[in-house]
Structure 1
Amino acid sequence: MCGRGDFLRRNARLAVTGALAGAANGFFGAGGGLFLVPLFTKWCGMEEKQAFATSVAVIFPLCALSAAVYYVRGGLPVSSSLGYLLGGAAGGVLAGRIFERLRTLWLRRAFALLILYGGIRAVLLL
């Protein structure tokens, strides 16, 4: 059984993790998972597959909130976004079906490659 201090410390860690993900989403339009997966595993003690799945569950409402803010401020072209939404939904369904079959090692490698690719693009396109 967890003591009150452990409960508060864990919830504080989860809140800080969520705040970092929300800030990344707000600043960059996405990217909260960059913070969530490593912090869920290392700081919050989640198993890796659970961290990946929880990251997706957390990112969805954060992305919806960020999209709403961009929409209200006139920065979201809804008509040109619908195609991406449909493709993203199809990709999400497909990835969700494959997720259970993948070993954690391959998920970790794919995540690392995605972060590396994004970092290289960010540096080279400045």
Structure 2
Amino acid sequence: MVYFLLSLAGLVGGFIAGLTGIGTGFLMIVVIPLALQYMNMPDEEMVRFTIANTIFATMCSAFVNNLTMWRKKQVYPKDMLWVTVSAVISASLVLHFFVLREEYSKDTYNFIIIIFLAYIIFRTIYKLRKPFHYDEVQSKARLTITGITAGIVSSITGLGGGSIIIPMLNLWLKMDIKKAKSISFGAIFGIAFMLTILNLLNTPSSNIPYAHLGYILLPVAIPLSIGVIISSPLGTSLSDRLSSRTISIVFTIVISLVLLRKVFELWG
């Protein structure tokens, strides 16, 4: 039953990732802790295993979504490169010096998630209430800052980076959300690929069953990955038929549901 639910979560998460560009992390940070509790994961390792396996599933989803974008020729390599390189560097540093330390507890993790999601929801709703047209701001400095911020957020939350890349590109650089989504896919894959390598190379401090590949648990990662690989292209195809405003509304609804779940985990 647990493997079935993980596969189902992969299907739903992959579809949402393809539709909105935010990565599979929003659903995974809810589902993976439930699976880890069933596997009797020690609380002191819960956060690191949640982040590592969320990022692994996100990497698989982003890889498939990038292939879809390349086939449709909806890619922006220069903008994507600035965001991705800066994101990979900042994500790697934060993972090594902060996330993998034992002081990073489950409550701290949930509190950071709640604050971050609340801010994203506020900014997105604010933009939806002011549907004016803005000329896109072309700035390498802003693309780099976006990447650095996304890398930090991805490392400490496991959300893949799309949750910050899309709002920053859309709200700060005045970029259409569909273009922002394409750039997000490329950056998400770069971040998730590098963090997955680091998670494979690090060894948990506790003796955890099935943890033969660092912080990547195959009984968790495989069902999730199968699901996201199947459904991500379906979400990407549907997004081509929807308006940018509709995608923004779906984006906000998904984030709001995860926010409620994390509030319950922390204070429920």
TM bin, normalised by shorter chain, reads 0.7 to 0.9
SS of corresponding position for 1:125: helix
Matches within 5 A, 1:47-126: 47-73=176-202, 74-126=214-266
Aligned partner letter, 1:72: L
Indicate the residue corresponding to 1:18 in structure 2: 147
Indicate the residue corresponding to 2:21 in structure 1: none
Q: Distance in 2 between matches of 1:86 and 1:51?
A: 26
TM-fit CA distance, 1:79: 4.5
Q: Distance in 1 between matches of 2:218 and 2:189?
A: 17
SS of corresponding position for 1:46: coil
Q: CA RMSD in A?
A: 1.6
More helix by share: 1
8 Å CA contact 2:150–2:162 kept in 1: the answer is: yes
TM-fit CA distance, 1:51: 1.0
User: What are the superposed Cα offsets for residues 36-95 of structure 1, whole Å, 9 maximum, x if unpaired?
Assistant: 111101212211111122212211221122222222112111353122111111121111
8 Å CA contact 2:151–2:161 kept in 1: the answer is: yes
TM-fit CA distance, 1:98: 1.1
Q: Which has the larger radius of gyration?
A: 2
Aligned partner letter, 1:76: I
1:32 partnered with 2:172: no
Aligned partner letter, 2:244: T
Q: Which runs of 5+ in 1 are unaligned?
A: 1-8
Give TM-score scaled by structure 2 length. Answer: 0.42
Count of paired positions: 118
State the structure with bigger RCO (CA 8 A, min sep 6), 1 or 2.
Answer: 2
Aligned partner letter, 1:92: S
Q: Distance in 2 between matches of 1:24 and 1:88?
A: 22
Q: Distance in 2 between matches of 1:118 and 1:65?
A: 25
Q: Which runs of 5+ in 2 are unaligned?
A: 1-137, 203-213
Give me the identity figure in percent: 25
Indicate the residue corresponding to 1:6 in structure 2: none
